[in-house]
Structure 1
Amino acid sequence: MVCAQAQSLAAKDSVIATPTTSSITASDTKPAETKKKNWYEVISLRGYAQFRYNRLLETNSDLKCDQCDKSIGNNGGFFFRRARLVFSGNIHERVFIYIQTDVATNATAGSTLGLNYLQIRDFYGDIYLTKDRKLRARVGISKVPFGFENLQSSQNRVAFDRTDGMNSSVYNERDLGVFFYFTPDKIKERFKYLVDSGLKGTGDYGVFGFGMYNGQTANRSELNNSLHTVMRATYPFQVNEKQILELGIQGYSGLFHVGEAVSPANVALEGNNQDYTDQRVAASVTLYPQPFGVQAEYMYGRGPVYQYNGPMAAVMHEIITGRNEGGYLQIMYMRKIKNMTVTPYTRGQYFFGGKKPELDARRHIVKELEMGIEFQIIKQLEVTLAYTISDRVFEDSRNPVNHQKGNFMRMQLQLNF
């Protein structure tokens, strides 16, 4: 009898201990809640630094290029061309932030005491206007969508500096404004691949972009109550299993205020007006190096240009609205040797026109050939060597006749982190 009761209780216990579908509560079926990350958990830090020396085999110390690299020529020594830190991350599913600083900035041009100031290069937010993130607004200091080479990061570019013609369009490549970009999902992945694979891409600036910006160049305030407008269209075509060909066209229009860059000398302004027409269009062609690559761009437009009329003229020095045009052709070959990537290249460039933010919208005529080779020894370390043959005219009211020719060897060590 006792045994029978014990068996009966054991049976009941076994029934109670076995869960049934009806006994599982709704809370048991809920997935574990994902803890919301703090802002400092979604922000990444990266950067790079470029250490240069430009004076090997130099033939003319008076040959300079202020916009390219201020350490070229007389009194140029070892030089940090760039020392960048980048903070970026998605702080919300609809908001991405990007902040880039540079501690290699020369705050007082021409002074030996003005090196290595901290400067903001980029400070913007991407606001995704659609749930699929195909359309976004970029607000703040960022690159102006004009030209392939201008948008290409100096960390990725194979040549030492951007060419004079394309870079003179948007000095320092950046300005304060609002830009809108549209990128389909398929092309978004292609833009990412072209950077991540080391193929020297620009990143995602949309297949179509347009915007408005101050137009007085980076880190300078608006001076004439007239915004610049810009528009760009580009598309990377898959031409076969390996090769990708990207074609682009772009243009901008606005008024540039030359007042801050006019020397104390007697320089006449057009109609005594410090605001000058500033308009350019350009075409871009890039065949990514797999293994052979070609990169070419050409720009044409109008803008402020210094003009010297001679000592007997009624007006000796003046700034006119003149022609600006120029471009470059670069050929390259990318080869993997074990874990190292070797990229020899040759680039020729031409530019005629004024550089609007320089003294008196300084007039330039540039004919230059650069032949170099980049060694990416490991992902974190790159070494580039190049020999430059240069023919440059750069004239303003202080140096109205200035034509320099020369050759020099350049070296750069780049650290990526």
Structure 2
Amino acid sequence: MTVGIAPRALAIAAFGLTAAYAAPAVADTASEIRALKARLNKLEAQEAEAKRAAKIAAQQQAAAAHAAPAPVGVAVQAPKHWYDRISIRGYTQMRYNGILDSSSYNDTYAYGDRSVGPRQNFFLRRARLIFSGDISDHLYLYTQFDLASSPSGTFSSSASNIGYAAPNFWGFYNQQIGSYNLNAGNFAQMRDAYADISIDDKKEFRFRVGQSKIPYGFTNMQSSQNRLTLDRPDAINTAQKDERDLGIFFYYTPEHMRHLFRDLVKNNLKGTGDYGMFAFGAYNGQGANRVELNKGVHLVARLTYPYVFANGQVVEASVQGYTGRFVPATSGIRPSLGMGTNWAGYIPNQFPWANSKGYNSPFATSSYLPFVNGPGYNNLYNNFNVANYNDTTVNFAAACVNGCNGLKDERVAVTGVIYPQPFGVFAEWNWGQGPSLDPYQFTIKSSKLNGGYVLVTYKYEDKDFGLGTFFPYVQWQQYRGGAKTETNAPVDRVNELEAGIEWQPLPEIELTAAYAHMNRTNLALAPYRQWQGDLLRMQLQWNY
């Protein structure tokens, strides 16, 4: 309304003066000039009033958004307190697992879902509660709790394997017998607790301090609230327990990329959110909610670039890697052969602990503690000589003596994504080395690993009958390497094909059904047998 008022007033004045000069005999020049001046003063007053009103409106808006002091005499909304800026949201997932077929019912197990196993029915997989918000222009807080966490030793379970040695040439120890407990589960546990500290007004450069997700692997950074598959693939997920750790991370994201990362989640395209176009960080390395066990830190870096085509399709390519040293947990087991196979637990007669010949051997028991072959530990062969296994004076102690520096733990991964508009592909592969139990189950050392996954999906939105959104998908995954976060870091061998569909009848409700043909290692119990089978799983998720 105010644009152009002053130029028009000047034009009118100029025209009037010109007219007065050209025809002094026709009109009263002095009266016309006075009229034009009055008109000009009125227009200028209107323009000044409009500017003042616009300024007051802008100040009111700034006061409401940033609690800035209001101009004297201007009524504005009361400033918000920091706790008024905190939002609360969450989601809950309830599952049902059914074993259709299994080569070894008692060995049925999945790394990403502890509810997969014999005698299991309904299960609360997650019950998340999230508090987040911009406390100021430069500080963002995020805290997440899981009210359905199941720490080790909770829920009813069988005691463990107990072994035996057959009197003939070979023997197996793989019987799962024992008692059951009635321990409780579903405890509250912190998942995230971090602050994003922005060092510029556009929030392109920021530091994330606290416990948060490690910027490694697209599927690890994807929220379980948005991910298609019920579990993350082993090949990427074994890199980091619970995908999180305590550390400091630097993220750089250009402003237009920040909006893109946000929209890929907001528009239901299964994005990760903003973990930076470039990320670099240092973290403990032992996993979320776990005590650090060595002085060293893990270092991680990631570079990703999403590209938007003219038709709106988005593709993203990433490369990432980390390096550090990891301290594995150990517990007593009985050495044997065949780990990660159907005949795991095989004990040849030549082994000194297979019969009475090795009665005095420290291995003639099911509670042998695997030796960690890394800096800071006793040397295995300085403490035990296999040739002298009958010597009752053997003093074997695979103990940590010099600080337990841990074993080398490093990986590099590549990622390629075509976001589902409507056809989508997600693929990742990683290589590296990490803690792994050797085939004899004597020692844990750093060994090579590799694996990844390919997921194909299609997004269908039913606009004819209003049935909602459907995501049918197929995923293949493979992994060969140690599961460093499991006790004794056993070898994990996975080859799995899964087909499923996610149905979103309402934005707040999701129902997923998945069928998987699995070939997996039972990482929970020694001697870590391999099992094959078919599994049908269903999950209901409600968002709030």
Give the TM-score, by structure 2 length. Answer: 0.68
CA distance in 2, matches of 1:194, 1:266: 48
149-158 vs 54-63, greater mean Cα deviation? 54-63
Distance apart, 1:401 and its partner CA: 5.2
Cα pair 1:63 1:392 within 8 Å, conserved: no
Q: Report whether the alignment pairs 1:296 with 2:427.
A: yes
| Structure 2 runs not aligned, ≥5 long | 1-43, 61-69, 71-75, 157-182, 333-366, 378-399
| Match of residue 268 from structure 1 | 371
| Match of residue 411 from structure 1 | 538
Amino acid at match of 1:304: P
| Match of residue 203 from structure 1 | 273
Q: Report whether the alignment pairs 1:69 with 2:113.
A: yes
| Match of residue 43 from structure 1 | 86
Amino acid at match of 1:103: L
Amino acid at match of 2:453: Y
CA distance in 2, matches of 1:408, 1:41: 46
Distance apart, 1:108 and its partner CA: 3.6
Cα pair 2:235 2:478 within 8 Å, conserved: yes
| Match of residue 102 from structure 1 | 146
| Match of residue 158 from structure 1 | 228
Give secondary structure in 2 for the equivalent of 1:142.
Answer: strand
Give secondary structure in 2 for the equivalent of 1:62.
Answer: helix
CA distance in 2, matches of 1:305, 1:97: 37
CA distance in 1, matches of 2:94, 2:116: 13
Distance apart, 1:181 and its partner CA: 0.4
1:7-18 matches, within 5 Å, as none
Cα pair 1:175 1:214 within 8 Å, conserved: yes
Give secondary structure in 1 for the equivalent of 2:237.
Answer: helix
Distance apart, 1:66 and its partner CA: 5.1
2:503 to 348, 352, 375: 375
CA distance in 1, matches of 2:310, 2:93: 35
| Match of residue 138 from structure 1 | 208
CA distance in 2, matches of 1:130, 1:45: 26
Amino acid at match of 2:308: Q
**1:194-252, Cα deviation, whole Å (9 max, x unpaired):** 00000000000010000000000111121101010000000111134131100000000
**1:26-65, Cα deviation, whole Å (9 max, x unpaired):** x997544253201221110110011000115343533444
2:474 to 346, 370, 373: 346
Give secondary structure in 2 for the equivalent of 1:166.
Answer: helix
CA distance in 2, matches of 1:163, 1:282: 13
Distance apart, 1:357 and its partner CA: 1.5
Amino acid at match of 1:233: L
CA distance in 1, matches of 2:185, 2:480: 30
| Match of residue 9 from structure 1 | none
**1:72-111, Cα deviation, whole Å (9 max, x unpaired):** 0113220011100110001111000001000110124353
| Match of residue 442 from structure 2 | 317
CA distance in 1, matches of 2:111, 2:502: 22
Amino acid at match of 2:265: V
Amino acid at match of 1:207: M
1:80 to 124, 135, 143: 124
**1:101-126, Cα deviation, whole Å (9 max, x unpaired):** 00110124353323111111000000
2:527 to 363, 387, 400: 400
**1:129-165, Cα deviation, whole Å (9 max, x unpaired):** 1122100000000000001000000000011100001
CA distance in 1, matches of 2:528, 2:247: 37
CA distance in 2, matches of 1:99, 1:135: 21
Cα pair 1:287 1:293 within 8 Å, conserved: yes
Q: Report whether the alignment pairs 1:287 with 2:418.
A: yes
Cα pair 2:490 2:528 within 8 Å, conserved: no
Cα pair 1:213 1:227 within 8 Å, conserved: yes
**1:166-185, Cα deviation, whole Å (9 max, x unpaired):** 00001110000000100001
CA distance in 1, matches of 2:415, 2:96: 30
Amino acid at match of 1:83: A
Distance apart, 1:394 and its partner CA: 3.9
Amino acid at match of 1:89: G
2:517 to 367, 389, 401: 389
Q: Report whether the alignment pairs 1:328 with 2:449.
A: no
CA distance in 2, matches of 1:47, 1:127: 23
Distance apart, 1:363 and its partner CA: 1.1
Structure with greater strand share of residues? 1
CA distance in 2, matches of 1:268, 1:308: 13
1:360 to 488, 506, 511: 488
1:149-298 matches, within 5 Å, as 149-258=219-328, 260-263=329-332, 264-271=367-374, 272=377, 274=404, 275-298=406-429
1:385 to 1:204, Cα distance in 2 relative to 1, 3 A: same
150-159 vs 27-36, greater mean Cα deviation? 27-36
Give secondary structure in 2 for the equivalent of 1:344.
Answer: strand
Aligned-residue sequence identity (percent) comes to: 41
Amino acid at match of 2:122: F
Cα pair 1:62 1:404 within 8 Å, conserved: no
| Structure 1 runs not aligned, ≥5 long | 1-19, 310-315
Give secondary structure in 1 for the equivalent of 2:106.
Answer: coil
CA distance in 2, matches of 1:93, 1:413: 37
| Match of residue 16 from structure 2 | none
195-204 vs 218-227, greater mean Cα deviation? 218-227
CA distance in 1, matches of 2:87, 2:408: 41
Cα pair 1:261 1:359 within 8 Å, conserved: yes
CA distance in 1, matches of 2:491, 2:331: 13
Amino acid at match of 2:371: A
| Match of residue 15 from structure 1 | none
Amino acid at match of 1:79: F
| Match of residue 115 from structure 1 | 185
Give secondary structure in 1 for the equivalent of 2:417.
Answer: strand
Q: Which has the larger radius of gyration?
A: 2
